[in-house]
Chains A and B, each alone.
Chain A
Amino acid sequence: RKEVEQDPGPFNVPEGATVAFNCTYSNSASQSFFWYRQDCRKEPKLLMSVYSSGNEDGRFTAQLNRASQYISLLIRDSKLSDSATYLCVVTADRGSTLGRLYFGRGTQLTVWP
């Protein structure tokens, strides 16, 4: 079983739509959780960390359910520039990307005008 499982999509949505991505992880000892964004043929870039209480950064909201080992990302008011692959990432290290990261295969999002 893979460490991190994601719905690969693709998700094709119009500008202004709200879209949600889900992710599950298998290691209950995982401590830190992140969403990364990866553009085509580029390196992944940190989008946001995910906290147990849920957290929001502008149009992006992340949620974590430790009991279900489930992570989500909600994007509101989608922009064309949001088109990318979104990677769910977990690590056993607390509070940072200090150590080994486990990546999901990513969910592809295309926002059309």
Chain B
Amino acid sequence: GAVVSQHPSWVICKSGTSVKIECRSLDFQATTMFWYRQFPKQSLMLMATSNEGSKATYEQGVEKDKFLINHASLTLSTLTVTSAHPEDSSFYICSARDEGPPYEQYFGPGTRLTVT
């Protein structure tokens, strides 16, 4: 099946710093990618829909100025957590939507962010 990678797989940063997470579709092109966040024992919550060449669409309650999304190519979307706080510590997962058959959504392995 299609492969989506994320980098880094885990990161520890200090409060106030920014962290960039990359999501890549390795063997297919993805006009649309999705960013999710998952807190312990909670469901995956969609943060934003990333569209190649245009602005991301953010879900209600997600601060677009804090979570910057850039989808500059058909295989790469980045999520930057700016001025990170301990409450931003979470598991961030991206998914990429295949533009051809079978039009499935494939998940990356996730990035575990810990803000100290």
Query: Distance (Å) between the CB of A49 and the closest chain B CB?
Result: 10
From B46, B103, B108, B112, contact of A101 by CB (8 A): B46
Question: CB distance B91 to A41 under 8 Å?
Answer: yes
Query: Distance (Å) between the CB of B40 and the closest chain A CB?
Result: 10
Question: CB distance B107 to A43 under 8 Å?
Answer: yes
A44 CA to B106 CA, complexed, in Å:
9
Q: How many residues of B contact A (CB 8 A)?
A: 20
Query: Mask for A2-46, Cβ within 8 A of B = 1, else 0?
Result: 001000100000000000000000000000000000000111111
Q: Which of B82-116 contact A (CB under 8 A)?
A: 91, 93, 97, 102-105, 107-110, 112
A26 CA to B93 CA, complexed, in Å:
24
From B41, B45, B91, B105, contact of A97 by CB (8 A): B105
Chain A interface SS verdict (over half):
loop
A: interface residue count bin: 10 to 19
Q: Does B42 contact A (CB under 8 A)?
A: yes
Using a CB–CB distance below 8 Å, which chain B residues touch chain A?
34, 41-46, 49, 91, 93, 97, 102-105, 107-110, 112
Using a CB–CB distance below 8 Å, which chain A residues touch chain B?
4, 8, 41-46, 87, 96-101, 103-106
